[in-house]
């Protein structure tokens, strides 16, 4: 990878203006990308956050668990109300990511279920790019 000199005029107010400066980066491809993520715990929270910040187009996230207070010290996308209401983790992520990152257009599709019980012929699995 070659080093590219940039000046202050290369960086603008666009959310993705810095990452598009990376040689070979194609933001349009990222925005069209579809990801399936199994697990909405601490690691799943971080992966969703980072995919959304990168501008990925759609994330299908699956988990069977619900939010409890013990999750709150390590999961930025859960809050106390989610724990008190025992909201499914995937639904809490879909709700709260929109509060935190209002200017991002990623579509989050929560799937409340067990990965071990998923049918490999599910329609959404046919359309994802990464899982």
**Interval 95-123: pLDDT, tens:** 999 888 887 789 999 999 998 888 887 88
Full set of structural domains in the chain with CATH? 32-115 (3.40.50.720)
Q: Is the pLDDT of residue 6 over 90?
A: no
Strands (DSSP E) found in 33-96: 34-38, 58-63
Global pTM reads 0.84
CB-CB contact of 66 with 75 (8 Å): no
| Cα angle 44-47-53, degrees, rounded to a multiple of 5 | 140
Query: How remote is the C-alpha of 25 from its chain's centroid?
Result: 19
pLDDT digits (tens, 9 = 90+) for 63-89: 999 999 999 999 999 999 999 999 999
Q: Do the bridges between strand 58-63 and strand 107-112 make them parallel or antiparallel, or are there none, so unpaired?
A: parallel
Query: How remote is the C-alpha of 32 from its chain's centroid?
Result: 14
């Amino acid at each position: 990878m070659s080093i590219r000199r940039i000046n202050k005029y290369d960086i603008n107010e666009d959310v993705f203006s810095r990452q598009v400066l990376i040689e070979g980066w194609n933001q349009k491809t990222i925005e069209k990308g579809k990801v399936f993520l199994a697990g909405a715990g601490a690691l799943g929270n971080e992966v969703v956050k980072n995919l959304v910040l990168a501008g990925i187009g759609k994330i299908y996230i699956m988990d069977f668990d619900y939010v409890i207070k013990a999750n709150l010290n390590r999961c930025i996308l859960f809050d106390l109300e989610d724990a008190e209401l025992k909201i499914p983790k995937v639904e809490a992520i879909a709700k709260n990511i929109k509060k935190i990152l209002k200017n991002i257009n990623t579509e989050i599709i929560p799937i409340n279920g067990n990965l071990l019980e998923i049918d490999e012929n599910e329609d959404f699995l046919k359309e994802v790019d990464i899982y």
